[in-house]
Amino acid sequence: MFCIALANIPREFHHKRDGMAFISSCAAIITLMALFALNIFPNLVYSQPEPENSLTIYNAASSHKTLGIMLVIACIGIPVVLAYTVSTYWIFRGKVKVDRMSY
């Protein structure tokens, strides 16, 4: 997947399809990140002298109660952030007009 996505980037640029080149670039980056994550799983930080002291996804996780509270906060916060972003975009939409009142 990585090699195909990477080889597709110059091909798409040659055919003047910048959007598809961007998508291929994103796919290559995501594939590299996934391969790295699979390689180090379940370790997040590997301890070289004593592997039993490595930081893993299991001993780095919070308690179930904390994760539940953060889920509620995220479920409330994400729609608020999205609504703020949409409203800001809506308020400042359109081209900027430079006239004598501009600075």
Domain membership of residue 35 (yes or no) is yes
Q: Which domain holds residue 79?
A: 62-93
Cα–Cα distance measured from residue 4 to residue 24, given in angstroms and rounded to the nearest whole number? 9
Check whether residue 40 and residue 73 sit in a common domain: no
pTM score: 0.58
Check whether residue 80 and residue 33 sit in a common domain: no
Instruction: Identify the pLDDT of residue 99.
Output: 86
Q: Is the pLDDT score of 103 beyond 80?
A: no
Cα–Cα distance measured from residue 53 to residue 94, given in angstroms and rounded to the nearest whole number? 55
Instruction: Identify the pLDDT of residue 73.
Output: 98
Give how many domains the chain has, as a whole number: 2
Instruction: Identify the pLDDT of residue 76.
Output: 98
Contacts 24+ apart (CB under 8 A), 28-37: 28/2, 31/1, 31/2, 31/5, 32/2, 35/2
Check whether residue 42 and residue 82 sit in a common domain: no
Residue 20 banded pLDDT, cuts 50, 70, 90: very high
Instruction: Identify the pLDDT of residue 74.
Output: 98
Check whether residue 43 and residue 2 sit in a common domain: yes
**Buried b or exposed e, range 56-81, using 16+ CB within 10 angstroms:** eeeeeeeeeeeeeeeeeeeeeeeeee
Residue 97 banded pLDDT, cuts 50, 70, 90: confident
Check whether residue 8 and residue 48 sit in a common domain: yes
Check whether residue 2 and residue 25 sit in a common domain: yes
pLDDT tens-place string over residues 23-81: 999 999 999 999 999 999 999 898 999 988 999 999 999 999 999 999 999 999 999 99
